[in-house]
Chains A and B, each alone.
Chain A
Amino acid sequence: MLTHEENTLLTQVGAGTPMGELLREYWAPVLRSEALEADGAPQRVRLLGENFIAFRASDGRVGFFDEGCPHRCTSLALARNEDNALTCIFHGWKIDVSGKVVEVPSEPPERRAEFAAKVRVRHYPVREAGGVIWAYVGRREQPPKFYNFEFNELPTSHSFPMRAVIHCNWFQGLEAVLDSAHLGILHASWLRGNTTPGASTLATANTGPVFEVEPRPYGFREGALRDLFDGTCYARIREVVMPYYSFIPSAVTRPNFMICAIPIDDEWTAQWYFHYNPAAPLSAAQRAELMEGSSGDPNNFCSDMGSIDQLWHQDRKLMREGNWTGITRCIPFEDFVVEESMGPIVDRSREYLGSSDVIIIRSRRMLLQAVREHAAGKLPFGVDRELDYSQVRALAIRYDQQLNWRQLDPLRPPSSLPTN
């Protein structure tokens, strides 16, 4: 439970808000690489309550600017994209992919060069890795070190990023991901069918896991521990990289998995699903399986999920016949639907938390502390520290209780007892 003031501090992400300023310290995924085509249509990107434009230049480089033309704010989504530059259709101002104004045909010929040199385009550093375009929209001259997450070092053949646009605040998106306790309940019908990427029937065997946490410089490592009452333990070990990355355990046969909740604005969130296999390419069949039941568009795989207006197509007949939620398309939709159903910004002064919510409580406390300290000038989680993110990996494992989960190395784990 939070006060209204704390909830506002946590959820408001626009420019000038404390959380908005904290989040602007970080690199963020903004688009799938495939969404941009050389000399193709520029794409509008909304991030942290502001509108940007992304485009791929003739030579393959990516430009990332404020959406409005520096002249009179016409949307550059309408601009011509050619010759490694965007040209605004209104007065022909041309901005090259590096963000430099190179033509201003609306000015008298004799002063064009001088004039163009003076116009500043707000443009932002980008990186392209693992099939995703990342941007830094913060205020510092030098962006922080780019994340060397495992999936960012892999060829695109080894990873499959998917993005979903959900109608709720980013922190609702994050909380659902942090909340391991819902797995065996919300997703019960899927887990029973055992067709789930990244989950196990063992999560339903004990719906009240015990949580233990180990702090990390970038966030924390969490063990959701389920005593199976036979001398063994089922542990789901997660890595949380603040402010919004959660590396989630997957079953042995599945690709590795990370979810993050990127704020579009106060009431909309881009929920990214990164699937990757450090050892081998993902086959077409694996990619198809990961998309199964979704809209089929990896740039917004929940675009046809529905909304509260038709209760997300919930099927009451199937519920009577035994399906738990009546949300039958795919597992992520069950998560998205409950998150959206709380309303665009849930009022956390009205909730009642239990011991299964300790991770949520912890994360809120961490972020509230970080945002207050950041407003006082202190850099948040991991920024400007030489951290090696390539070692961050999640793990699901059933092991003998003689062991302690903290001793398990997710990159070199002991062999798991059967989990199905």
Chain B
Amino acid sequence: MLTREENELMCRIAPGTPMGQMLREYWAPALRSQALEADGAPVRVRMLGENYIAFRASDGRVGFFDEGCPHRCTSLALARNEDNALTCIFHGWKIDVSGKVVEVPSEPPERRAEFAAKVRVRHYPVREAGDTIWVYLGQRETPPKFYDFEFNLLPSNQIDVYRAVMHCNWVQGLEAVLDSAHIGLLHKSWLRNFNRGNATMANNAPIFEIVPKPYGFCEGALRDLWDGTSYARIREVVMPYYSFIPSDPGDPNFMICAVPIDDEWTAQWYYFYDPKKPLTGDCLVGHSGDKNNFCSSMGSVDNMWKQDRKAMKEGHWTGITSILQFEDFVAEESMGPIVDRSREYLGSSDSIIIRVRRMLLQAVREYQRSGKPPFGVLDQIDYTKVRALGIRFKNDITWKQIDTLNPPPWVE
């Protein structure tokens, strides 16, 4: 439970808000690489309550600007994209992919060069990695070190990236991902079909243990299976919003993050990746078919997300039958665009959520005071070691001794 003030402080991310300023300190995934085509249509991107335009230049580079033309704010989504530049259709102002104004045909010929040199275009550094275009929207001259997450170092045939646009605040997106306790309940009808899902369901009240890390924390969700073994789901949380989630041995590795579009909308990203070999086929099926928004077919509160009451009577737990991930999204959206956390009632299974809220609130207050961004973003952290693991192991070791990059064998 939070006070209203705390909830506002944590959730609001528009320009000028404390959390908005803090989140602008971090590199963030903006759109899938495949969403941009060289000399193709520029794509509107909304992040942290502001509108941007992304485009791929003739030579493959990516430009990322404020949406409005610097002249009179016409949307550059309409602009011509050619010759490694965007050209606004209104008065022909041309901005090259580096953000420099190179032509202003609406000005008198003799002063065009001088005039163009003075116009500042708000443009932002981008990186392309992990089949994703990342952007830094912060104020610093030199952006922080780019994330060397495992998947960002892989060729694109070893990763499979999905994005979903959800109608709720980013912290709701984040909290659902952090909440390990719902797995065996919300998703129970799906897990019955999975090989090792029964290990999750055998004990619905896991014990949580935490190891702090400079970038966030490592969490063990521990289920004693009463036969001398434990089932541990070891998660890595890289603040402010990355969660590396355990998968079973043999399945691709997995990361989810909740990237704020604005106060009421969130881009939920799903990264599947195999550090050793190419992935075959799609890792998610049953969704909208559009990897740029794989929940566009999910519905909304207006049609109760197409919940199937008949299937529920016949034994399906949720009646959300198209794809497991929609169960998460539906639960998150159903709380309303910004849930009022002064009205909730938390239990011991919510300890990770409570912890993360505390971390975020403390971080944003400290950031307001000191101006120093939290979670090691300005330090040279090695993110290549960050990996999650789901494992059943003999109780003669503790989960903290397990190296997630070189784990012991799964105990059947």
The residues of A with any CB-CB pair to B shorter than 8 Å are 175, 181-182, 185-186, 207-208, 210, 308, 311-312, 314, 316, 319-320, 324-327, 334, 337-338, 341-343, 346-348, 350-357
Of B66-74, B362-370, B394-402, the stretch lying at the interface with chain A is B66-74
Q: Which residues of B are found within 8 Å of A334, using beta-carbon distances?
A: 89
Is there contact, CB below 8 Å, between B78 and A185?
A: no
Q: Which residues of A are found within 8 Å of B119, using beta-carbon distances?
A: 352
CA distance A54 to B107 in the complex (A): 46
Q: 5 nearest interchain CB pairs?
A: A341-B75, A356-B106, A185-B92, A208-B108, A342-B73
Look across to chain A and name the residue whose beta carbon is closest to the beta carbon of B104. A354
Q: Which residues of A are found within 8 Å of B90, using beta-carbon distances?
A: 182, 185-186, 338
What's the nearest-Cβ distance from chain B to residue A327, in Å?
A: 8
Is there contact, CB below 8 Å, between B71 and A354?
A: yes
Task: Give the residue of B41, B70, B74 whose beta carbon is less than 8 angstroms from that of A311.
Answer: B41
Sorting the interface of chain B by its residue count into under 10, 10 to 19, 20 to 34 or 35 or more gives: 20 to 34
Q: Which residues of A are found within 8 Å of B276, using beta-carbon distances?
A: none
Task: Give the residue of B72, B89, B105, B115 whose beta carbon is less than 8 angstroms from that of A325.
Answer: B89
What's the nearest-Cβ distance from chain B to residue A341, in Å?
A: 3
What's the nearest-Cβ distance from chain A to residue B62, in Å?
A: 18
What's the nearest-Cβ distance from chain B to residue A83, in Å?
A: 43
CA distance A311 to B73 in the complex (A): 16
- Is B77's CB within 8 Å of the partner chain A? yes
Task: Give the residue of B66, B78, B106, B109 whose beta carbon is less than 8 angstroms from that of A337.
Answer: B78
Q: Which residues of B are found within 8 Å of A351, using beta-carbon distances?
A: 68, 70-73
- Is B111's CB within 8 Å of the partner chain A? yes
Chain B 72-100 near chain A by CB (<8 Å), digits 1 or 0: 11110110101000000111100000000
- Is B40's CB within 8 Å of the partner chain A? yes
Task: Give the residue of A186, A316, A352 whose beta carbon is less than 8 angstroms from that of B40.
Answer: A316
Q: Which residues of A are found within 8 Å of B73, using beta-carbon distances?
A: 342-343, 346-348, 350-351
Chain B 30-51 near chain A by CB (<8 Å), digits 1 or 0: 0000000001110010000001
Task: Give the residue of A327, A347, A352, A355 whose beta carbon is less than 8 angstroms from that of B108.
Answer: A355
Q: Which residues of B are found within 8 Å of A346, using beta-carbon distances?
A: 68, 72-73
Task: Give the residue of B39, B40, B74, B107 whose beta carbon is less than 8 angstroms from that of A355.
Answer: B107
What's the nearest-Cβ distance from chain A to residue B293, in Å?
A: 13
What's the nearest-Cβ distance from chain A to residue B119, in Å?
A: 5
Is there contact, CB below 8 Å, between B109 and A338?
A: no
CA distance A342 to B41 in the complex (A): 18
Query: What are 15 A-B contacts defined by CB distance under 8 Å?
Result: A181-B106, A182-B91, A185-B106, A207-B106, A314-B78, A316-B41, A325-B89, A327-B89, A346-B73, A348-B73, A351-B71, A351-B73, A354-B104, A355-B107, A357-B72
Look across to chain B and name the residue whose beta carbon is closest to the beta carbon of A181. B106
Q: Which residues of B are found within 8 Å of A357, using beta-carbon distances?
A: 72
Q: Which residues of B are found within 8 Å of A208, using beta-carbon distances?
A: 105-109, 112
Q: Which of B71, B74, B89, B104 has the most CB of A within 10 A?
A: B89
